[in-house]
Chains A and B, each alone.
Chain A
Amino acid sequence: MPETNGHDAPRVGFYVCHCGHNIAGTVDVAEVARFAGTLPNVIVARDYKYMCSDPGQELIITDIREHRLNRIVVASCSPLLHEHTFRVATEKGGLNPYFFQMVNIRENVSWVSDDPAAATAKALDLVRAAVRRVAHHRSLATKHVRIHPDVLVVGAGISGIHAALTLANAGKKVTLVEREPTIGGHMAMFDKTFPTLDCAACILTPKMSAVKNHPNITLWSYSEVTEVSGFVGNYTVKVKRKPRYVSEELCVGCMECIDACVYKEGKTPDEFNQGLSRRKPVYIPFPQATPQVVLIDPDTCIEFKSGRCKKTCVEKCDRDAIDFKQKEEIKEINVGTIILATGFKTFDARRIPYYGYGKYPNVYSSIEVERLVNASGPTGGDLVLRDGRHPKTVGIIHCVGSRDRNTNRWCSRTCCMYSLKLAHLLKEHSDAEVYNFYIDIRAAGKAYEEFYDKLLEENIHFVRGRVAEVTDWSARPEEEGKLVIRVEDTLIGVVRRVPVDMVVLAVGMEPQADSQDVRRMFNISCSTEGFFLERHPKLAPVDTFTDGIYIAGACQGPKDIPDSVAQAGAAAAQALSLIDAGEIELEPNTAYIVEEDCSGCKSCLNICPYTAITRDEVKQKAVINEALCKGCGTCVATCPSGAIRQNLFEDEQIFSEIEGLLQDNESVPTGGEACQPQ
């Protein structure tokens, strides 16, 4: 059938979806269909169990042909889910896909109401609004934009590293930006990894050096993204490269400057070792750091503080790599897609004062213990406490800052398994009695339960109960000089006091402290707890609501290494599918100028956030660059003479929708007489 130009009399086909019980359980769908049938211009009105299914779509296609429909309205779920589906069905029926309007009566009605009468009444209002609106729809052409093939990966922990390598191996140019002086993230701090007990460094460092040496990867460590603009396929990103005061090109990481530093001993708590050791002002986070380049901390370096240091480091460096005058640099790059792999932060155990972290020296966080048992850690793997003793009994407290109404309600997913791993390592390093205090053991991963079984056979003690407190209050002689863990053992139903030499707090995983700033910068969403929000929890776990921006690893939620790597691979694949498609369809929701109404006043020029508007000096009229316009509508609202209009949001479309909403159910409207284009 010939495509309508949008000016023939509207012939509307209306469809309401049951969505199983999701909608039909609350909304009277038969009544909605009956009501729609009474509305002006509606030729066909039906209800169907699953409109998104093939037979549901087929209904639309057949009806368009048989009843010469030229407008389609579907009342179902959120347009985010199925607007595209129904537009395609509309197009298959022979119409321009934009002669379609969707009504969300699931998320906006049935899911948020338990009053069937009120829900149905609201559904009727929304349907009436949509039927009136669709009469004013026009034929539009879909916009296509080219995808820039380069990718930005933010964060170089195991997730970012894996995503960057996957893309680079597929021949894409990747810029990998890392905030810290070295890549590797939390994984680089770990000793061994569960459940296989392979050493973290052995499996991570080859990937780190692969990143450094890959011809397709530009690695910017000690750098932060400061600004992101543009849209899918065409992002412009500014990256701040913080000064190391050491030339990355010249330094070979021989570390002789560190030995030569006028400080004979380190004085500053070492960030990488969680403050368990001290570093000098010139330092490298750890021996396998990538890039293998030292850096100078201006806050503690004498040269920066007084300008009168002997500069023994400079004397020692025969490559002249040290440069106290190095300045911060801002780099600008263009990429088509972005992967965020910004990771997590460990829970600060000081927030639970009754576990004594920060008060009793022998209470440790799990991440500190990772360093303590690490062969390349501050003690070379010797399990020696802050007071110099070797522990004979150790208590590991699970769920610190997880599954707790007072702090974080979520399960951090990794703590059970890493606590088991640490229990094994602590036993191995010290032959101490090791107690685990747990709520539930969650060992749901491949070979995880088997690992738990193995631990049970290693004579590790397991006490089921959430620990009430860690105290130095001794009630019995054998508790003198010890830390006492007070806990209800819920399996035998008694309150126990367990004296130990060392307490390990299995701290949970939290969003990064600045996750909200990062979210705003990249224009994505966070779930309530602050982790980045995926587009769909099951079917689009690495996509975000912003096209071309993907998330991977623990920035999306607590995750162990296997899951982080899997997600990083998925994010890389999503980026690749966009890049290899070469271009993407965009909503034709751009603004346009009605030239005869434009007075050339320039009001719109400066307010456009995307600099899409210029002025034709010959015609003295504004001109909108369609490729740059994002359809935000700011200029439409600003134009004093109403000369700017916007596709999909025309005045008569919006006004007729509002009129439809406000119309009383009793008086049936006579149809689109108001707000005709002037």
Chain B
Amino acid sequence: MSYLYFPGCSLRSTGRPYEESILAVFKKLDVPLTELEDWNCCGATAYVSIDENRAFTLAARNLALAEKMQANGNAGQDLMAPCSACYLVLEKTQHYMKSDEGVKKEVTAALQRGGFDYRGTTKVRHPLDILVNDIGIDRIARAVVRPMKGIKVACYYGCQVVRPFQTFDHAAYPVTMDRLVGALGATTVDWPMKTRCCGGSLTGTIQEAGLRLNRALLKEAVKRGADVILTCCPLCQHNLECYQKRINRKFGESINIPVAYFTQFIGLALGIPRKELGIQRLFVPLKLAETPGKEAHAHA
């Protein structure tokens, strides 16, 4: 079991702790990752809304690169895309290349001009899917050295990993992360906001609307007694974590809840040192990790 890995821009900037924790967790679980050589922008967000076919072409170049690597010594390795936006645009491109003759023609022609002959065999996977369905919850549970007992988690999936394709979980009521978190010993709170909008890029454009959406999620997580919100998307993480003070000022709230990547949480349970997981980079400190971190150390 091994995978090709597409970091995308986020994981090299605002989402650094996501990359750090993914690499550390996969290493701990002995699952090799090979970074996609010469990868480029995935084509997501602004690009898709302005010119779909060009966005698909960008995405398709990454798919074609992966296919090439699979043919040269990386056989059978699916392409892992941890950022939800990358994951979705790659999936979408794959989907339209199969189902829409127009897209297929235009993108194929562009790829050919770039020297690619893409046959459409690349499979795009999200790390949540890989961890639960390939590596398996049992195997992860066996590797836990610091059970996360007593910690209450609100699992947040965001919109893009399960919609519209539902490849590995239910579009309206996903449970994959909840099962995973449960296997680490933590409890999950019943939180009806799992896939509700985090505000997306509205927090940067029409902030009024973005913050309103954002606030509903945070408030409800606090109300349901969550100690931490876990996410699987860099934009969700950024939105939920970075605007808490502004929301408090604007709406008279007193929200202060850590928002971490689910892979950071797994890493803590597996006894990986906090620094290797980028825990120190979080703006709202993950205090609950202090005790687990020490205990994990003691176990090791």
Which positions in A face B, CB cutoff 8 Å? 353-354, 359, 469, 471-473, 475
Task: Flag if B192 contacts A353 (CB, 8 Å).
Answer: no
Task: Flag if A471 contacts B192 (CB, 8 Å).
Answer: yes
Task: Flag if B216 contacts A475 (CB, 8 Å).
Answer: yes
8 A–B contact pairs at CB < 8 A? A353-B170, A353-B172, A354-B172, A359-B190, A471-B192, A472-B192, A473-B193, A473-B216
A353 to B216, CA, bound (A): 21
A472 to B192, CA, bound (A): 8
Q: What residues on B are CB-neighbors of A359 within 8 Å?
A: 190
From B196, which residue of chain A is reached at the shortest CB distance?
A473
A353 to B173, CA, bound (A): 6
B158-183 CB mask vs A (1 if < 8 Å, else 0) is 00000000000010110000000000
Across the A-B interface, how many residue pairs have beta carbons closer than 8 Å? Answer: 15
Q: Which 6 residue pairs are nearest across A and B when measured between Cβ atoms?
A: A353-B173, A354-B172, A471-B192, A473-B192, A473-B220, A354-B173
Q: What residues on A are CB-neighbors of B173 within 8 Å?
A: 353-354
Residues from 125 to 181 in B contacting A, C-beta threshold 8 Å: 170, 172-173
A471 to B216, CA, bound (A): 13
A472 to B224, CA, bound (A): 11
Extra pairs beyond A353-B170, A471-B192, A473-B216 (8, CB < 8 Å): A353-B172, A354-B173, A359-B190, A469-B172, A469-B192, A473-B192, A473-B193, A473-B220
Q: What residues on B are CB-neighbors of A469 within 8 Å?
A: 172, 192
Q: What residues on B are CB-neighbors of A473 within 8 Å?
A: 192-193, 216, 220
A469 to B172, CA, bound (A): 9
Q: What residues on B are CB-neighbors of A472 within 8 Å?
A: 192
Q: What residues on B are CB-neighbors of A354 within 8 Å?
A: 172-173
From B193, which residue of chain A is reached at the shortest CB distance?
A473
Q: What residues on A are CB-neighbors of B170 within 8 Å?
A: 353
Q: What residues on A are CB-neighbors of B192 within 8 Å?
A: 469, 471-473
From A352, which residue of chain B is reached at the shortest CB distance?
B172
From B171, which residue of chain A is reached at the shortest CB distance?
A406
Q: What residues on A are CB-neighbors of B216 within 8 Å?
A: 473, 475
From B175, which residue of chain A is reached at the shortest CB distance?
A353
Q: What residues on B are CB-neighbors of A471 within 8 Å?
A: 192
Q: What residues on A are CB-neighbors of B172 within 8 Å?
A: 353-354, 469
The distance from the CB of A673 to the nearest CB of chain B, in whole angstroms, is 49
A471 to B196, CA, bound (A): 12
A471 to B173, CA, bound (A): 12
Residues from 187 to 217 in B contacting A, C-beta threshold 8 Å: 190, 192-193, 216
A470 to B216, CA, bound (A): 16
Q: What residues on A are CB-neighbors of B220 within 8 Å?
A: 473
The distance from the CB of A571 to the nearest CB of chain B, in whole angstroms, is 41
A475 to B193, CA, bound (A): 12
Q: What residues on B are CB-neighbors of A353 within 8 Å?
A: 170, 172-173
Q: What residues on A are CB-neighbors of B190 within 8 Å?
A: 359
Q: What residues on B are CB-neighbors of A475 within 8 Å?
A: 216
From B217, which residue of chain A is reached at the shortest CB distance?
A473
The distance from the CB of A70 to the nearest CB of chain B, in whole angstroms, is 54
A359 to B190, CA, bound (A): 10
The distance from the CB of A553 to the nearest CB of chain B, in whole angstroms, is 34
The distance from the CB of B98 to the nearest CB of chain A, in whole angstroms, is 20
A169 to B190, CA, bound (A): 59
The distance from the CB of B169 to the nearest CB of chain A, in whole angstroms, is 11
A509 to B192, CA, bound (A): 28
A471 to B217, CA, bound (A): 13
From A473, which residue of chain B is reached at the shortest CB distance?
B192
A354 to B220, CA, bound (A): 17
From A484, which residue of chain B is reached at the shortest CB distance?
B192
A655 to B220, CA, bound (A): 75
From A354, which residue of chain B is reached at the shortest CB distance?
B172
A423 to B125, CA, bound (A): 47
A246 to B245, CA, bound (A): 71
From A406, which residue of chain B is reached at the shortest CB distance?
B171
A439 to B190, CA, bound (A): 30
A469 to B171, CA, bound (A): 13
A475 to B173, CA, bound (A): 20
From B216, which residue of chain A is reached at the shortest CB distance?
A475
A354 to B175, CA, bound (A): 13
From A468, which residue of chain B is reached at the shortest CB distance?
B172
From B220, which residue of chain A is reached at the shortest CB distance?
A473
A472 to B223, CA, bound (A): 12
Q: What residues on A are CB-neighbors of B193 within 8 Å?
A: 473
A475 to B190, CA, bound (A): 16
The distance from the CB of A45 to the nearest CB of chain B, in whole angstroms, is 42
From A472, which residue of chain B is reached at the shortest CB distance?
B192
The distance from the CB of B24 to the nearest CB of chain A, in whole angstroms, is 33
A471 to B190, CA, bound (A): 11
A472 to B189, CA, bound (A): 13
From A470, which residue of chain B is reached at the shortest CB distance?
B192
The distance from the CB of B175 to the nearest CB of chain A, in whole angstroms, is 9
B9-44 CB mask vs A (1 if < 8 Å, else 0) is 000000000000000000000000000000000000
From A356, which residue of chain B is reached at the shortest CB distance?
B192
The distance from the CB of B163 to the nearest CB of chain A, in whole angstroms, is 12
A359 to B192, CA, bound (A): 11
The distance from the CB of A488 to the nearest CB of chain B, in whole angstroms, is 16
The distance from the CB of A500 to the nearest CB of chain B, in whole angstroms, is 16
A354 to B190, CA, bound (A): 13
A126 to B16, CA, bound (A): 68
Residues from 215 to 261 in B contacting A, C-beta threshold 8 Å: 216, 220
The distance from the CB of B47 to the nearest CB of chain A, in whole angstroms, is 29
A359 to B173, CA, bound (A): 12
The distance from the CB of B191 to the nearest CB of chain A, in whole angstroms, is 9
From A471, which residue of chain B is reached at the shortest CB distance?
B192
The distance from the CB of B173 to the nearest CB of chain A, in whole angstroms, is 3
The distance from the CB of B218 to the nearest CB of chain A, in whole angstroms, is 12
A471 to B193, CA, bound (A): 9
A359 to B170, CA, bound (A): 16
From A475, which residue of chain B is reached at the shortest CB distance?
B216
A469 to B192, CA, bound (A): 10
A191 to B173, CA, bound (A): 34
The distance from the CB of A230 to the nearest CB of chain B, in whole angstroms, is 47
The distance from the CB of A280 to the nearest CB of chain B, in whole angstroms, is 34
Residue with the greatest number of chain A CB neighbours at <10 A, chosen from B170, B192, B220: B192
A475 to B216, CA, bound (A): 8
The distance from the CB of A387 to the nearest CB of chain B, in whole angstroms, is 16
The distance from the CB of B220 to the nearest CB of chain A, in whole angstroms, is 6
The distance from the CB of B261 to the nearest CB of chain A, in whole angstroms, is 24
A473 to B217, CA, bound (A): 10
Residues from 56 to 99 in B contacting A, C-beta threshold 8 Å: none
A472 to B191, CA, bound (A): 9
The distance from the CB of B278 to the nearest CB of chain A, in whole angstroms, is 31
The distance from the CB of B253 to the nearest CB of chain A, in whole angstroms, is 13
A473 to B224, CA, bound (A): 10
From B172, which residue of chain A is reached at the shortest CB distance?
A354
The distance from the CB of B211 to the nearest CB of chain A, in whole angstroms, is 14
A471 to B192, CA, bound (A): 7
From B174, which residue of chain A is reached at the shortest CB distance?
A353
From B190, which residue of chain A is reached at the shortest CB distance?
A359
A469 to B190, CA, bound (A): 15
A353 to B193, CA, bound (A): 13
The distance from the CB of A296 to the nearest CB of chain B, in whole angstroms, is 39
The distance from the CB of A346 to the nearest CB of chain B, in whole angstroms, is 21
A643 to B220, CA, bound (A): 81
A354 to B193, CA, bound (A): 11
The distance from the CB of B165 to the nearest CB of chain A, in whole angstroms, is 13
A354 to B170, CA, bound (A): 11
The distance from the CB of A446 to the nearest CB of chain B, in whole angstroms, is 39
